Chain A
Amino acid sequence: MENLISKKDLLEEANISYGQLYRWKRKNLIPENWFIRKSTFTGQETFFPKDDILLRIEKIKTLKDDLSLDELADMFSPSPTLTSLSAEELTNRNIVSQTALDMFNNFHGSNQSFSFTQVLTLYVLNSLLQTGDVNRAEGIDLLKLFHEQALTVKSAGSELFFIRKMGVSFFILTPEPANLFLEPQAKKIAHYKLSQCIEELKLKLS
């Protein structure tokens, strides 16, 4: 189970007030399913997934001076904000590398404009290639997986794992929150939360 933090501790650690927390909840900056209710000796208390909520609050605090709360809500919402993006824009704005773009075009045929899901695929592929976690052949496997599971990718809230054991590698795409237990020789090379990728991507696009 994920690490949880109580509301009281969260307010202290993040240095925010109840009012702010409720306002952000109202504006859909904090997803409903992060509010986890549990019984304690003082009655019902609300808990949050610690890492997720602290990261989110940090982001809200740094961005709220530049963006309105509604713009922030758009950014955090899993639904795409844009419909399509051209290949030049993607490379010019340094969102994906030419290599990733070429691989994508080799696999899917030449494409000039990309839907949000395709941009997301490119973005994940690009960062996996950049970190050196996967090689080109494995990148193709990823494209295949994302292509076949397009609906899962679209309906945010999935996690992507890349696992290697004795040179054999494979991807796992699973709904969030994922609980994976690996045998000792298997190594988790990469782990992406697609909802977080979408946020990063939106931030870059905005």
Chain B
Amino acid sequence: MERTQLKNISISGSGTSSGGEFNQVKVNGSAHIYGDVICEEFKCNGSAHLEGNITTDTAKINGSTHFEGDVEVKEITINGSSDIDGHLLCDELKVQGSSTIKGDVKGKEIIVRGSASVQGNVSSDEIDVKGQVKIKGDCAAESFEARGNFKIDGLLNAGTIDVELLRHCEAKEIGGENITVKKTRDASGFKKLIKFFMSNHTDQLTVEVIEGDNLYLEHTHAEVVRGNTIEIGPGCDIKRIEYKTSLEVNPDAKVGTQEKI
């Protein structure tokens, strides 16, 4: 195999490379890479700036990186901070630090434990957020699970949507099969601390339209909610509900018009 012929490149201290095809690329200090990189493993512990595209099996970013092109990777872990100007195509994305992606993100499994911001669209089989995500485009997944804060400017479309709200969450539209929106129940010390500093924020979801088969909503402010079986929990403020099979409304919810179709 040609794989054995590929060289490793290790930049410790400050260095530059013109890019190319490698087995392993390792940055411990600061690196500037001018061209495209194809490799098996990319690891950055310091800071790296890549002007081209990168294709790799695994990428691990413990420091900070800036990719000016597209990133195509099977498994990428971002523990530090990472900026991608192009698209990110991956099987597994794990963001434990912070990450900004200007293009689209396409993956199978996306896990966010820190903060992620995407200016394009996001699509993945699974999206699991415990932290914060901001998406300027649409977000599509088979399963979307969030314990934290999200802001989606487009449509959130997922088979199963399971949300525990933290502070002010927003989406333009939500659509899917099973949609559950709840307020976080366990008041852990950490959350109390956050609450203490952000006392003016209440846990709430603001959305224009929610459409789905089975819906359970708490603390949701919406213009229109449409579905088959709908249960409206406490703290909701919904202008109009259209339902097919059943509707239950908690006394602590405010509902404008409701119509059975």
Contact = CB atoms under 8 A, between A and B. Distances in A.
A joins B in a complex: yes
B258 to A, nearest CB: 13
A42 interface: yes
B226 A25 contact: no
B224 A42 contact: yes
List of 3 A-B pairs having minimum Cβ-Cβ separation, nearest first: A19-B177, A19-B213, A22-B175
Interface string B140-169: 111000000000000001110000000000
A22 B223 contact: no
Interface of A: 7-8, 12, 17-19, 21-23, 25-26, 42-44
B260 to A, nearest CB: 13
A17 B175 CA distance: 11
A22 B224 contact: no
Contacts of A22: 157, 175-177, 211-212
Contacts of A25: 157, 175
Interface in B70-95: none
B212 A18 contact: yes
A23 B240 contact: no
B109 interface: no
Interface string B216-235: 00000001101110000000
B261 interface: yes
A18 B208 contact: no
Contact of B140 (A7, A21, A26, A44): A26
A203 B123 CA distance: 27
A17 B228 contact: yes
Chain B interface residue count: which class? Answer: 20 to 34
Contacts of B142: 26
A26 B141 CA distance: 8
B41 interface: no
B242 interface: yes
Name A's interface SS. helix
A124 to B, nearest CB: 34
Contact of B208 (A21, A26, A43): A43
A7 B157 CA distance: 16
Contacts of B175: 18, 21-22, 25
A42 B242 CA distance: 11
Contact of B261 (A8, A21, A23, A26): A8
Contact of A17 (B141, B213, B223, B240): B213
A23 B157 CA distance: 8
Given A8-B242, A18-B213, A22-B212, A43 B176 contact: no
Contacts of B226: 8, 18
Contacts of A21: 175
Contacts of B123: 26
Contacts of A7: 211
Given A17-B213, A18-B176, A26-B140, 15 more contacts: A8-B261, A17-B177, A18-B175, A18-B211, A18-B227, A18-B228, A19-B178, A19-B212, A19-B213, A22-B176, A23-B159, A23-B176, A25-B157, A26-B159, A42-B240
A44 B208 CA distance: 9
A19 B157 contact: no
Contacts of A18: 175-176, 211-213, 226-228
A19 B229 CA distance: 12
A18 B224 CA distance: 14
Contacts of A12: 261
B105 to A, nearest CB: 15
Contacts of B178: 19
A21 B142 CA distance: 13
18 contacts: A17-B177, A18-B176, A18-B211, A18-B212, A18-B228, A19-B176, A19-B177, A22-B157, A22-B175, A22-B211, A25-B157, A25-B175, A26-B140, A26-B142, A26-B158, A42-B240, A43-B209, A44-B208
A11 to B, nearest CB: 9
A12 B213 CA distance: 14
A44 B223 CA distance: 10
A42 B141 CA distance: 28
B240 A26 contact: no
